Amino acid sequence: MVKQFRRLRRVLTCMLVAAFSVGTTSAVSTNNSANGNAPQEKLIWSDEFTATAPHSAPNPANWTYDVGAKSWGNKELEFYCSYNSTTGPCDAKSPNVYVGNDGYLHIIARRPTPGTYTSARIKTQGLQSFQYGRIEARIKMPAGQGFWPAFWTLGSNITSVEWPACGEMDIMESVGQIPSTNVGSIHGPGFTGTRIGAEYKLPGNAKFADAFHTFGILWSPGKIQYYVDSPANVYVTYTPASLPHGAVWPFDTGKVFLILNLAVGGYWPGSPDATSVFPQEMLVDYVRVYAAPDASLAAARD
């Protein structure tokens, strides 16, 4: 019964999003709000990760890939693979990213040979981009030494101004050896050497790897609020006043695209060790974007 209800919920959500996305001027209203007295939000885009086959490609209208072993500025160890890639060390028979008929996006870190690691990093760059509103994803993290899952954004202007001038918002970012902690942070010109971030810790001995949790931001001009599990549960707010002297706030200059990835190694988690178990996977139930209730702050999309 629970599985049937979950499938029905997904189908209904997809139908509603499709109704908004096919060029109509109407929008989907939801009851989700950080304030029960606030106007209703409008769901403007989502990927519910539905598939009829055990291993399907992420929707190519929404997602493309970063690929290769480039260390990605963080001394990471993995080789990022696209869906169905046969470029070694990627193996299409053991994919690093796919949508399953269980209704989840799977991003899997593998160790095909000792000292070799593969994973995936998918992004909406050039396909879907947004400005302001509420952005969230429901995710189950992996755990263990050396694993670094993340859900984050970069400014769509990165191709012209590069990083960090484009700005970066890290909505979900954690390392597997600290499985009860998520860090919500921002990066930009003049504030990259010292992270501006806040930790959200689950109570008791709970771990983010034990269950799905929702990670999101409420984004409006001059303000970004981070939450876990409910937009009413804001745990940190950033404004231009949060920045060090001389830094530039880059988050009101245009749209952003979304990124989901699972890194292996790097300067923050360190390398896998004898305790690290492979494969590990990051599961994503959905990604959703809501317009702000105030039309003047409405989220924009391509």
Catalytic residues: 168, 173
CA-to-CA distance for 117 and 80, rounded, in angstroms?
Answer: 9
Q: How far is CA 135 from CA 113, 132, 156, 169, 216, in A?
A: 37, 8, 16, 11, 5
Alpha helices in the chain (DSSP H): 2-21, 158-161
Contact 235, 198 (CB under 8 A): yes
Residue in 131, 134, 109 with CA at minimum distance from that of residue 43: 134
Pick from 96, 115, 165: which is nearest to 276 by CA? 115
CA-to-CA distance for 214 and 59, rounded, in angstroms? 21
